[in-house]
Amino acid sequence: MSFTEKATLVGVSVGISALLAWGISKSISEGTRGGSDDAPIIVGGGSLYFGTGALATFTRVSDDELRFAPDFKVSAIDWIDSDGKTGSVPVLLNEGNITVKFCGNQNCTGAGNVDMVRLSFKPGSPISLTNELKGVGNSHRLLPNLWRHPKKNWTVDSMAITVGVGVPMPVKCLESACGVYVHSCTDGKLCK
């Protein structure tokens, strides 16, 4: 492994660790969420990682889809942008999605160089992860609860959160530094 590959691996590991630490601290510090019924989904920048808590994880449905454990419903979405600004979006049994613009070049332009990855949720359906360029079902499973998009040298350009019929709320992702923490539980209420 070359020095550049080792440095990249260390950088990505630090980024994932920071995002997971933020997500775990959110779980522990908030009394209304984060208890034993919360099964979080964490989506982070860099080479587009998605991780889950111990209660539930993604399974491969096809080459084009990963599906979260059945019966889990999204109750809220917390986010952090590249400036360190954080926020929370209540969901409470609405449908919606998180869209990640994932790019193969610096300008995020050109056919085959932009992938729109969507984490979708709606009452009565499982939470799913799909993408426009297809193939997200072939994401690399790095750990039992940690996946990486198959295009590892690409970067996250931006994220947007949409709940119900609302306008997509952008999440700033300069240099891929952003993330979302999706609270999910089986009762569909605010996770305790």
Is residue 34 pLDDT above 90, yes or no?
no
Is residue 94 pLDDT above 60, yes or no?
yes
- Rounded to the nearest integer, the mean pLDDT of the chain is 79
Residue 67: predicted pLDDT? 92
Q: Which amino acid is at 81?
A: D
Q: Is the pTM of this model over 0.85?
A: no
40 with 181: CB under 8 angstroms?
Answer: yes
- Point out which residues pair with 181 in neighbouring strands: 42, 78
Q: What's the burial of 83, exposed, middle or buried (CB within 10 Å: 0-12/13-18/19+)?
A: exposed
Is residue 174 pLDDT above 90, yes or no?
no
**pLDDT per residue over 95-150, tens digit each?**
999 999 999 988 888 889 999 999 999 888 899 999 999 989 888 888 888 888 88
CB neighbour list of residue 188: distance below 8 Å, 6 or more residues apart: 73, 75, 92, 93, 123
Residue matched to tokens 């609270």: 183
Question: What pairing do the DSSP bridges indicate for beta strands 73-80 and 179-185?
Answer: antiparallel
**Could you give the percent of the chain with pLDDT greater than 70?**
77
Distance set, CA 65 to CA 59, 132, 135, 138 (Å): 9, 11, 7, 8
Q: Which residue has the higher pLDDT, 24 or 95?
A: 95
Residue 53 banded pLDDT, cuts 50, 70, 90: confident
